Structure 1
Amino acid sequence: MLASKQSAASRHQYPMTPSYTIDVLQQLVRRHVRPLAVMALAVAFLVLSPSWYMMEVYDRVINSRNLVTLGMLTLAVLLLIALLEMVEWWRGERLAVVARAWDKAMAQPVFLRAFQSAQAANGSQNGQQAMGHLQSVRTFIVSPALTGLIDTPLALLFLGLLWAIHPLLALVALLAAAVQAFSAWRLHLRSGELTQRAQQWGHATQSYAERMLRQSPTLSALGMWPTVFRRWQELHGKSLQQQVQLLQHVVGHQVFGRWLQQAVGSALLGVACWLLLGQALAGGPGMLIVASILGGRVVAPLFQVVMHWNQVAQARTAVSNLSDLLGAGPAPDDALPLPPPKGSLVVEQLVVGSPVRGAAPLLKGLSFRLQPGEMLAVLGNSGAGKTTLARALLGLLSPAAGSVRLDGVDMAGWDRREIGPRLGYLPQQVELLDGTLADNIARFGVPDEPMLNAAVTAAGLQGIVAEWPGGLSTDLGEGGLWLSGGVRQRVGLARALYGDPALLVLDEPNASLDREGDAALHSAIAAHKARGRTVVVVSHRSEVIQLADHLLVLRDGQQVAFGPRDEVLTALRKAQAAATAPAPAAPAHTTPSPASGVTTPVAVQAAQP
């Protein structure tokens, strides 16, 4: 029911490949290059209006002393300058359209890939900074740096005009442009690495500060503020050091570019004066000023790019990182619509690798199956792989080998937007989002009132919600941090139960619950089983284990035992008793028990499918 409410448009898949980012940029260039080129050409001519006005005043007004001519020329130049500003405004609006088109084409695939990267055990910083990279490119599109790059080819127009006045003037301006281009190239070579390092250290500092503030009550209670503050100061100092190095490098080139722009104007004025004195400059004294202005226009676009080089470097790094992000994994295919799952779960030789290179797999060859209406309790010491298994069952971790199939379909084959509403998940650490209680329980979709009320009742929240003035419309604020641990866990349970999912996975669901919350949890699990739903629970509480049909025992990522609950419990008790007996004889064909470090008879494992 929930999945059927999604529109066909939301099913669209983007080709998440490294070339997708470049393809989008190329499409935007092809679509908008013609109007932007026309505007740039118009700007190039209109920016000469003051020069034209100066020449006309020298040639006509001063010689004729005609005030009417002066007035007409002044009016004309004012209109041309007004037109110049209008064209600049139109160009800014057009670039804003390009920025919006970029965002529309990139926002969804970038968000989806960042979301997938965050799910992965080895999620990269690229995924965490993806939306910032998107913003960097969007900012660059509407920045003076891009308009400078667009105007750079038009420097040839000004060189042509200088050549028409005198070839020597054009050669001087060309030399200045070459020097400015060389400076920009040097800046390009060094600033990319500096920008990337500065961004990485800045992100590390910000992330550390956010984590520190989220844990402020614990840090304050344990008196850890001085030590964590010193650690933050170290990170902040390194971040500032990288930013200072980048700033010094960029500012040096900016100062040189500013000097060069002023120097070329003076140099052209001097050369033009020398040519005039030698009777080699046509057009009279007015050409001195014109040559100086035209020379400045030759180097102006490159100077503008250098002055805003930070935005150029950030956009270049962002495009590279976005390309890497979109190519960091298999491109999603358009999944065929599948019927709603009933809850048949089959795990075959499941292996999940470790995010630490060279480390042993987290799960090693697990195999079991559950039918709709059955419950599995997963037991094991800390680090046995229980949470990894819970995430793998939901398709949040990709198997290195083996498979997890729901109703005969590999979890990777399900469209997450189709299967997500059919799954329920309560992690150990319940994270809530900014919004109302109803929003969080209804997974930020349009709340279905009967489903919402059923989930609230099943989680035992109805009494708590009744005491809140806003009821289900109560705003939980930033992550619902003001809620107690028990209430947060109940809200997470209600979210997991919302929509009556076919597969319900609960990871230590009663870690923060009181007796009343435990009773609500047991009732909810029993009711869910009675409706023919599959339940997997990671828990050591005996009350929860008594609800299970099967037990799975893990140790160091390996499956030690699986079978009917009573058989596995009996085998574990016998193994423990044998371990405490004096000088026990080692039975043939035994396997280690995760709970006691002793042995579990193979008869238990014989119950595996």
Structure 2
Amino acid sequence: MAQQASITRSSRQDTELDKALSACRSAFWIMALFSLVINLLLLTQPIYMLQVYDRVLTTGHLETLITLTGLAAIALLLLGALDSLRSAVTARIGCWLYNRLGPVYLANGVNARLLGDTAGAQPLRDLSQVQTFIATQGLTVFFDAPWVPAFVILIWMLHPVLGILALCSAIILLALTIANDLLTRKPNLTANLAQISATQQAEAAIRNAEVVCAMGMLPAIVERWRNSNALAQSAIRTSAELGGVLVGLTKFMRFLVQIAALGLGAWLVLRGELSPGAMIAGSILLGRALAPVELAMSVWRGFSSARIAYGRLKLRLQNSPVDINRTRLPTPAGRLTVENVTYLLPQDRRPVLRNVSFVVEPGEAVAIIGPSAGGKSTLCRLLVGTAIPSSGQIRIDGSQIDHWDQDQLGQFIGYLPQDIELFATSVRENIARMGQVDDQAVVEAAMTAHAHELIQHLPQGYETQIGDGGTGLSGGQRQRVGLARAVYRNPRLIVLDEPNANLDQAGESALAATLHELKQQGTALIIVGHRPSTLAQADKILLLKDGRVELFGPREQVLQTLRGLAATSGKPGTVPMHKTPSVEENDTSKEGHTEGPAPITASVPENAEPNRCAQ
């Protein structure tokens, strides 16, 4: 997660991709061995033709013909079996690499998203592109190509003139292959990047289908996609046309060379310098020598796409933070300490939070209020470890939050963000945080969130399928299920960002009861919100404005200060700048606070109206 060390890998440090490919080394040696035997067995046909023409036809021995035919059949059967095994090995290598690296790039994508990366699932698509290339004939070209010189040497041994023809043909086809790469590399890269951009636009449009359709945005979005896609298709067309010309030229050259080999061989036979069998064998060997080059031309487009994808995959891991194996710390009690935390946006280094300090004790609830774009949601992300402070420290039970193993710490943290994302599976699995489901813990969490009755009224109860993004539930239902997920297994620190944004009166009452129960259990609570039902459960209030703590202290004291400031200014909603109270000054008093849900009679200034954070 985001608490990982900020240092990146050096170019000499092996990434998970390098390690995975190194682990495949033995499989590659097996493929090389198979290729050796396969290419030796490919000599069966020319040797058979050579013996039939030069021995059987001249001697008339039928037994020799039967023996040669039987041996050739056995060799060809072995050839087919080994070729099938080699294809199976390449398929297994591709599947193993995807299974091995898929989780790595999925976790990398999630972590990168926290830092503002917009690639989404593109690394998994790149990995699939590499897998597809490995699992097809593309990879076998690299194992067959080294045998081209061996076939040329064999042809040379039949006759030097035929050898010179084979060598020149191989050089010409190799030059065409290099030209294909040089001419199509830039169009392939342009097409690849443009296709990624067009796909991301389409995914965004589909993800926001309701807004797109409701406000008539579809024609404009389709036009934007068409423009991006036009660039991709133009590059694809250019690459395909250039590649097609070169592939056609390659086929022409190969067929012409084989005819030339037969013609030249016939001329040598007439001169008495070559036997008829050697003429036929030379032609077959020449076809076999040039086959890998022609195959390379036909799979070159797939190779180019796989190479581009591999480059992105390697660069992504090289530039990612180094994972550190953290020591597992004792179960926290839930004491949260924020010490002079400043946070700068990674893109433009603009400060969102400045020297924020406060303390939350177990069983204590702190309500964070303030105008929009004040840094409230950013502070929530820092508190749960999905972002790291630019300076200052956040501690849970005295340990810095980035010193915790995130998987371990996540068990003790509950988080309800503004935008609630649920997974396309059952309510039960969503509440259980997509892990091993403990039915008793799931029901207890739903009851704590006062969502049990709501869930029981769903079509299939806890087994109800939510749908992608929670589309099967209303906004209020998603919020209640998200709250149940946040309180699953009684975490010690719970951060709720606008938890009542989509709730009706009954939902707000249930939320207030939930907050009261969590406090009784000793859970530390951070609640972003301004509604009276939320503030009624707060022991302390933190007023955050322009990224600074304006006020922090016991609830009644802060509310009284706000009322006094509003009366003094004569302009409701205007709060002058004041010195930020220190943690020590505001962490000692709980006077005026009464436990349990109770109505608040004081009004909150207009500048503290509930608005979503616009960081």
Q: Please give the TM-score of this superposition, normalised by the length of structure 1.
A: 0.89
Displacement of 1:324 in angstroms is 1.8
Within 1, Cα distance between the matches of 2:83 and 2:575? 80
Q: Which residue of 2 aligns with 1:37?
A: 32
Q: 2:497 aligned with 1:507, yes or no?
A: yes
Aligned with residue 123 of structure 1, among 84, 95, 117? 117
Alignment of 1:181-580 (within 5 A): 181-279=174-272, 281-282=273-274, 284-356=275-347, 358-580=348-570
**Contact map agreement 1:24 1:102 (CA 8 A) in 2:** no
In structure 2, what residue type is equivalent to 1:362? V
- Of 105, 111, 114, the residue aligned with 2:109 is 114
**AA aligned opposite 2:67:** M
Q: 1:320 to 1:72 in 2, by over 3 A?
A: same
Q: CA deviation at 1:391?
A: 0.8
Kindly provide the amino acid, as one letter, of the partner of residue 599 in structure 1.
Answer: P
Q: Residue 68 of structure 2 is aligned with which of 65, 73, 76?
A: 73
The CA deviation string for residues 125-168 of structure 1, in whole angstroms up to 9 with x for no partner, is 2x531111221222222221110111111112101201211233
C-alpha deviation, 1:63, in angstroms: 2.4
Q: Give the drift of 1:601.
A: 3.9
Aligned residue for 2:74, secondary structure, equals helix
2:169, 2:392 → 1: CA distance? 65
Counterpart AA for 1:39: F
- Which deviates more, 454-463 or 490-499? 454-463
| Residues 562-601 of structure 1: pairs in structure 2 closer than 5 A | 562-580=552-570, 596-601=573-578
User: Partner amino acid for 1:408?
Assistant: G
Q: Is contact 1:563–1:605 with CA below 8 Å preserved after alignment?
A: no
TM-superposed deviation, 1:387 = 1.0
Mapped contact 1:553–1:562 kept (Cα < 8 A)? yes
CA distance in 2, matches of 1:602, 1:25: 55
* Superposed displacement of residue 477, structure 1: 2.8
CA distance in 2, matches of 1:106, 1:290: 46
- The match for 1:83 among 78, 83, 86 is 78
SS in 1 for 2:550: strand
CA pair 577-194 structure 1, distance change in 2 beyond 3 A: farther
Distance 2:79 2:227 in 1: 50
Distance of 2:237 and 2:354 partners within structure 1: 49
Which 5+ residue runs of structure 1 have no aligned equivalent? 1-14, 582-594
Relative to 1, partners in 2 of residues 1:89 and 1:608: Cα closer, same or farther, differing over 3 Å? same
Which is worse superposed, 267-276 or 284-293?
267-276
Deviation digits for residues 43-66 of structure 1, max 9, x if unmatched? 112122222222222123322344
C-alpha distance in 2, partners of 1:415/1:17? Answer: 23
| Change beyond 3 A, Cα 1:118–1:374 | same
Which moves more between the two structures, 39-48 or 494-503? Answer: 39-48
- Corresponding letter in the other structure for 2:323: P
Q: After superposition, what is the alpha-carbon deviation per residue over 1:516-537, rounded to whole angstroms, capped at 9, x for unaligned? A: 1111111111111111111111
Aligned counterpart, 1:12: none
Instruction: Tell me, in whole angstroms, the C-alpha distance in 1 between the residues paired with 2:243 and 2:354.
Output: 52
Identity of aligned residues (%): 31
Tell me the CA shift for residue 439 of structure 1: 0.4
Aligned partners of 2:90 and 2:139 also within 8 Å? no
Residue 461 of structure 1 contacts residue 491 of structure 1 at CA under 8 Å; is this kept in 2? yes
Deviations 1:282-313, CA, capped at 9 Å, x for gaps: 3x122222222222222221221221112212
Whole-angstrom distance in 1 between the partners of 2:10 and 2:309: 15
Helix, strand or coil at the partner of 1:479 = helix
1:228-273: per-residue Cα shift (whole Å, max 9, x none)? Answer: 2222222222232232233233333322322232233223333333
Q: Deviations over 1:456-481 (max 9, x none)?
A: 11222222222234211122233331
Which secondary structure state, in structure 2, belongs to the residue aligned with residue 446 of structure 1? coil
- Give the aligned residue type for 1:217: E
Deviations 1:311-333 (A, max 9, x none): 21222222221222222232111
Sort the Cα spacing of 1:524 and 1:261 in 2 relative to 1 into closer, same or farther, 3 A.
same
Conserved? CA contact 1:163–1:170, under 8 Å: yes
3-state SS of the aligned residue for 1:27? Answer: helix
- Structure 2 CA distance for aligned equivalents of residues 197 and 566 of structure 1: 62
Q: How far did residue 67 of structure 1 move?
A: 4.0
Change (3 A) 1:224 1:329: closer
Offset of residue 512 of structure 1:
0.5
Displacement of 1:104 in angstroms is 4.1
- For the aligned residue pairs, the C-alpha RMSD in angstroms reads 2.4
- Structure-2 change in CA distance of 1:404 and 1:179 (3 Å): farther
1:52 aligns with 2:29: no
Query: Residue 602 of structure 1: SS of its match in structure 2?
Result: coil
Partner of 1:123, secondary structure, is coil
AA of the residue aligned to 1:543: S
Q: Give the aligned residue type for 2:354.
A: K
Query: Structure 1 CA distance, aligned partners of 2:337 and 2:270?
Result: 94
Partners of 2:236 and 2:342 in 1: CA distance: 43
Preserved contact between residue 369 and residue 543 of structure 2 (Cα < 8 Å)? yes
Q: Structure 1 residues 22-31 or 533-542, which shifts more? A: 22-31
Q: SS state of the match for residue 599, structure 1?
A: coil
For the 8 Å contact 1:350–1:367, the answer to whether it is kept is yes
Match of 1:432, SS state, is: coil
Distance change (3 Å), C-alpha of 1:405 and 1:440: same
- 1:344 deviation in Å? 1.1
Q: Distance in 2 between matches of 1:30 and 1:214?
A: 41
In structure 2, do the counterparts of structure 1 residues 83 and 16 end up closer, same or farther at CA, with 3 Å as the change threshold? farther
Q: Is the 8 A contact 2:20 2:100 kept in 1?
A: no
Kindly tell me the number of residue pairs found equivalent between the two proteins: 577
CA displacement at 1:369 relative to structure 2: 1.7
Tell me, yes or no, if structure 1 residue 170 matches structure 2 residue 163: yes
Describe the shift of the 1:604–1:34 C-alpha distance in structure 2 as closer, same or farther (beyond 3 A). closer
Distance change in 2, residues 1:147/1:501 (3 Å) = same
Q: 1:95 is aligned with what amino acid? A: T
